[in-house]
Amino acid sequence: MPRDLYAGVMSGTSLDGVDAVVADFAVKGKACETLGAAHIAFPSMLRDELLALQQPGNNELARAGAAANLLAEMYADAIARALAEAKVTANDVVAAGVHGQTLRHRPDRGFTVQLNNPARVAEKADMQIVADFRSRDVAAGGQGAPLVPAFHAALFARRDRHRVVVNIGGIANITDLPPDGDVRGFDTGPGNVLSDLWCARNRGATFDAQGAWAAEGKPNPTLLAALLADPFFSAPPPKSTHRDKFSLQWLEDRLAAAAIDDSAENIQATLVALSARTIGDAIRGYAPTADEVLACGGGANNVTLMKYLANEIEPRTLRTTADEGVPIEQVEPLAFAWLAREAIARRPANLPEVTGARGKRVLGAVYPR
């Protein structure tokens, strides 16, 4: 059978690095099959600069341009490594979907900014590149996010069960996959972003490995209630967010307003509880008949978060996408490989019922080889 190969590249809001895959979309009986994958961690210098660029600063246009070039080099390198593992060449691949690094996401103001230099990626990778997936949906009045629910449906929907897919990156989002009915999805709020920031502030580590530090603390009910009072959590979908809202300043403002005086590990536990509670509330409110939840993204490695989440969604079953044969870190890059495929075929890939756009749109800008 002829192969239908696409690559996908993702660097998410957790700022841990770049994930790339090469996938075949012509595998009988499957939506796709991963042939090769690669992960490249961000150098601390680049991660620090990407964090700094989340906020207005001096000379930020030139700094953003330089950071985009570094990102492009990493994206192309990650593609090359995934190609090598797949034992294929750039000539075998139709295109690569390269999402870029989100710096601002303000659909309420009609824009979203993903730092990228796709022309440079195309030049170095010697491959057709598809980028800028969110802008067309935003231009059509949508949130531009989440974009993965259509792919989640292709990969994980089943006729004999009601599933929800939870992607826990820096920001968390859910996809509701009823056996009959429309696919729905939206951002639920912070996934790892706040706990990562708090861990960096207090422990000097970029993240709390497996949630071990959070496990030393206990959630503070007063602080949790203060955090949950943010209007974003009770707002109906469609909705999306980013770390430019759920920032360290957002947390510090609420700590001050609630006059919280508690240990750092208890605050860390509370931030993990916030992620679990808001995901649980979203499932209870918008997918109440779901019987199974599949988790993916880096947050699925957080043992404490998964424990809290399992308690939140009872009696539903909590598993990871790895149980379905898709490693948790590959779901998003696979989604952007799929989005690239849809763009090359000129097929609409947004779901207006998810994003709130005025209609279906072809997503992505193509940079030929």
pLDDT tens, position by position, 8-27: 999 988 888 999 999 999 99
Domain count, the chain: 2
Same domain, 243 and 301: yes
> Domain with 108 in it: what CATH number?
3.30.420.40
Same domain, 9 and 111: yes
- Which runs of E-coded beta strand occur in the chain? 5-10, 17-24, 33-41, 93-98, 101-106, 111-115, 129-131, 163-168, 171-177, 184-190, 292-296, 317-320, 365-367
Same domain, 283 and 256: yes
User: Which residues of the chain register pLDDT less than 70?
Assistant: 1
Query: Which H or E element spans position 52?
Result: helix 44-52
Strand-pair partners of 113: 104
The full DSSP string for 134-170 is SHHHHHTTS------HHHHHHHH--TTS-EEEEEESS
Q: Which two tokens stand for residue 79?
A: 């593609």
Same domain, 36 and 51: yes
Query: Which of 169-172's residues contact partners 24+ apart within 8 Å by CB, and which partners?
Result: 169/12, 169/13, 169/14, 169/297, 169/298, 169/299, 169/332, 170/12, 170/13, 170/14, 170/15, 170/196, 170/243, 171/13, 171/241, 171/242, 171/243, 171/246, 172/275, 172/278, 172/279, 172/297, 172/299
pLDDT for 119: 98
Same domain, 133 and 237: no
pLDDT for 29: 84
Per-residue CA distances from 125 to 89, 93, 114 (Å): 10, 11, 19
pLDDT for 57: 87
pLDDT for 15: 87
Same domain, 265 and 205: yes
Same domain, 226 and 101: no
Taking only the tens place, the pLDDT of each residue in 138-177 is 999 999 999 999 999 999 999 999 999 999 999 999 999 9
The full DSSP string for 193-261 is HHHHHHHHHHHS-SS-GGGTTGGGS---HHHHHHHHTSHHHHSPSS----TTTSSHHHHHHHHHHTT--
pLDDT for 1: 66
Same domain, 184 and 73: no
Q: Which residues form the domain of 172? A: 149-324
User: Which pTM does this prediction carry?
Assistant: 0.94
- Residue 40's identity, in one-letter code, is I
Same domain, 108 and 129: yes
Same domain, 184 and 228: yes
Question: Considering only CA atoms, which of 182, 174, 132 is closest in space to residue 336?
Answer: 132
Taking only the tens place, the pLDDT of each residue in 209-244 is 999 999 999 999 999 999 999 999 999 999 999 988
Same domain, 156 and 140: no
Same domain, 119 and 169: no
